[in-house]
Amino acid sequence: MNSVFSNKTAIAIFVLPTLLIFCAIVLIPIVVSSYYSVLDWNGIGKGTFIGLDNFTEMFTDSRALNAIKNSLLFAGASIFIQLPFSLLLALILASTVKGEGFYRTVYFIPVLISTVVIAQLWSKIYNADYGLLNTLLVNMGLSNLAQDWLGQKQTALIASFIPILWQYVGYHMLLMYAGAKSISQDIFEAAKIDGASRIRTALSITIPLMKPILKVCLVFSVIGAFKVFDLIYVLTGGGPFFTTEVPSTLMYTTIFDTYRYGYGSAISVFIILECLVFTLLINKLIKTD
């Protein structure tokens, strides 16, 4: 075994396929998009080099700024709503509750369902005519609250966020649950003997020891918020009046509806840089060593 790991040729042979795939589906598209981002190009013929004009337009365009703002709001909702709720579920399940395996499976099921299916399901729930949400409100005597949730500018953004937050609660819960379960039970026994309550044990022992996995969940949550596309696109398409638009949906419509490949590529480069910057920032602020 040691001879294999010391053989640089063998290591290179095993790493090469993964490296080629990474270059083909990640690195090369990023380089190509970066090149297109400095061009004024409609996808046909030769583009015209315009430098950073596409990026300048993006940061001065109210529609693009609104899309960036929405992605930041979604990232905030993921951090301050989704992750705490996932952590609460993980701590409850890790405390050896009855039916632990059943609840763990049920909470994770939405993660396994296609995002398109999730979007279709919630679009039916939100439907103004026959949706479950409006039906419940009417039956509870709150018919004045019933409305077109995805068609109103005041409610569309929040209504779009809820399905995404709901879908991935189970994903983060399972990661945190695994982190909590990996902590030695001897530590909890010692805390119990010292008279620590469950809440004190969770705050002073469990959560601090889960710091590495919490950091991973935070990074995944932020990156997922910045690159969200499919659910928003199926639910609202970025409407009404661009209220729910995020950078990825703006990029898609810019490239395939208006044929501005250069500007759309600039948006894609911005999404990549945004994810990279926030990942580095999280790693800088949260030390796990």
The per-residue pLDDT string of the chain (289 residues; one tens digit each, 9 = 90 and over) reads: 556 667 788 888 888 999 999 999 989 999 999 999 999 998 888 889 999 999 999 999 999 999 999 999 999 999 999 999 999 999 989 887 788 888 889 999 999 999 999 999 999 999 988 899 999 999 998 889 899 999 998 999 999 999 989 999 999 999 999 999 998 888 888 888 888 888 888 888 899 999 999 999 999 999 999 999 999 999 999 988 899 999 999 999 999 999 999 999 999 999 999 999 999 999 998 887 6
3-state secondary structure 151-199: CCCCCHHHHHHHHHHHHHHHHHHHHHHHHHHCCCHHHHHHHHHCCCCHH
How much of the chain exceeds pLDDT 90, in percent?
67
Structure pTM? 0.90
Residues of the chain with CATH 1.10.3720.10: 39-285
pLDDT in tens, 29-45: 999 999 999 999 988 88
Residue-averaged pLDDT of the chain: 90
State the CB neighbour count (10 A cutoff) for residue 153.
12
- The CATH label, of 3.30.360.10, 1.10.3720.10, 1.10.10.60, 1.10.1060.10, for the domain at 39-285 is 1.10.3720.10
CA atoms within 13 A on the CB side of 155: 12
- Give which of 243, 249, 258, 242 is closest to 227, Cα–Cα: 249
Cα–Cα dist 36/163, whole Å: 34
pLDDT in tens, 189-222: 888 888 888 888 888 889 999 999 999 999 999 9
